[in-house]
Amino acid sequence: MIDHAAKPDRGRVDLNSEECKGCGLCVEACPPKVLRLADQLNHYGYHTATCAGPGCTGCGICFYVCPEPGAVTVLRLAA
């Protein structure tokens, strides 16, 4: 396993648990593996995506694979 904690975040993922349906596509597609499905359910009964910790590169792949508009927003951080 790669330790991403030593690297500063180059991006930030904002996940909207009200839009996420818990399909897991973003979790599988995330290159640094900073996304996971939450243990708790949202009020619709889905295990939604959540950020598991530091290491986001801001690549935006999670945004592009997500089928739900408004569930994922990716922001690149200034260097």
Q: Give the tens place of pLDDT for each residue, 7-57.
A: 678 999 999 999 999 999 999 999 999 999 999 999 999 999 999 889 999
Q: Assess contact for 16 and 52: CB atoms under 8 A.
A: no
Which band of pLDDT confidence, cut at 50, 70 and 90, is reported for residue 2?
low
Q: Assess contact for 33 and 8: CB atoms under 8 A.
A: no
Cα(41)–Cα(47) distance, integer angstroms: 5
Instruction: Tell which CATH architecture fits domain 11-76.
Output: 2-Layer Sandwich (3.30)
**Residue 65 φ then ψ, to 5°:** -85, -15
